[in-house]
Amino acid sequence: MNQATPSAPSVFITGASSGLGRQMAIEFARRGYRLALTARRLDLLEALQAELLQAGAPKVFVAALDVTDEAAVTQVFGQACTALGRLDIVVANAGIGNHGRIGQLPLHRAHATIHTNVLGFMSTVEVALQHFRAQGRGQLVGISSVAAFRGLPGGGAYGASKAAVTNYLEALRAETRGSGIVITTLSPGFIDTPLNRGAKSRPFVIPVEQGGRLLVDLIERRVQTATVPAWPWALVARLLTVLPAAIVARMR
């Protein structure tokens, strides 16, 4: 791992106990960043913290956080600022992936998807934005999905939650234009994590290590929007928006 300098950049990640959040933490640590890692499962975060520090990570703050608890988001974000001094990047990554046809997926699971992926995400954006406005700069990263591009059978709640993420950040990008705040929307295809391991089919799936590297590369390049990986998902996303409804109806 790189040696951190006193001015080493810092990143706050939600949903860092598993999958993409965990892998981005590993990748950022390797590149010398100071880290604030949050999720509900503190035991997993503490194990990751020990692993990263042993490998030479400069600073790793961890805290239990349920992003659906608005007050806790403010409190834990404040603790992370105190621990790290300044936060340069916030990655709103925490998410759940309940799938099922509308009317068949129990409504409480559809509601939970929206609660975590939209309301929890918005709470994270809110605290990050206040912090970035106060310091005059910062980068907010939202993890959306290619599911945002078209409503598909069996993906109503999840797709709607990710379409909300993409649209919300598009508005925020316009509102923060010229302010020194960068808004990055990343839309992965299938990356191998517990979120999708039960799926019947995972077209073009890539390993989580590769996914983490690609995500952090794109964040460091401060892109505005990207599918991950770019190929074939940039093309698939475009195709999804123009596919005839009769074909979409036959998709599973």
Binding site for ligand NAP (CB under 6 A): 14-21, 39-41, 65-68, 93-97, 116, 120, 143, 145, 188, 190-191, 193-196
**61, 132, 158, 233: the active-site residue:** 158
Q: What is the nearest approach in angstroms of ligand NAP to the Cβ of residue 70?
A: 11
| Nearest-angstrom CA–CA distance, 236 and 147 | 11
| Nearest-angstrom CA–CA distance, 199 and 43 | 27
- Torsion sign (Cα): 156, 158, 164, 169: negative
Neighbours of 244 (CB within 10 A): 7
DSSP H helical ranges for 115-229: 121-135, 156-175, 208-220
CA 35 to chain centre: 15
Residue 1 or 206 having the CB closest to ligand NAP: 206
Please confirm, yes or no, whether 168 is among the known catalytic residues. no
Q: What is the nearest approach in angstroms of ligand NAP to the Cβ of residue 93?
A: 5
Q: What is the nearest approach in angstroms of ligand NAP to the Cβ of residue 155?
A: 11
Q: 77, exposed or middle or buried, with CB in 10 Å at 0-12, 13-18, 19+?
A: buried
Unique residue bearing structure tokens 């591009």: 149
For residue 232, the surrounding DSSP H or E stretch is helix 230-242
Residue 33 or 190 having the CB closest to ligand NAP: 190
Q: What is the nearest approach in angstroms of ligand NAP to the Cβ of residue 198?
A: 11
For residue 108, the surrounding DSSP H or E stretch is helix 107-114
Residue 59 or 115 having the CB closest to ligand NAP: 115
Residue 8 or 122 having the CB closest to ligand NAP: 122
Contacts of 107 (CB under 8 A, 6+ apart): none
| DSSP line for 61-75 | EEEE--TT-HHHHHH
Q: What is the nearest approach in angstroms of ligand NAP to the Cβ of residue 225?
A: 14
Give me the active site residues, please. Answer: 158
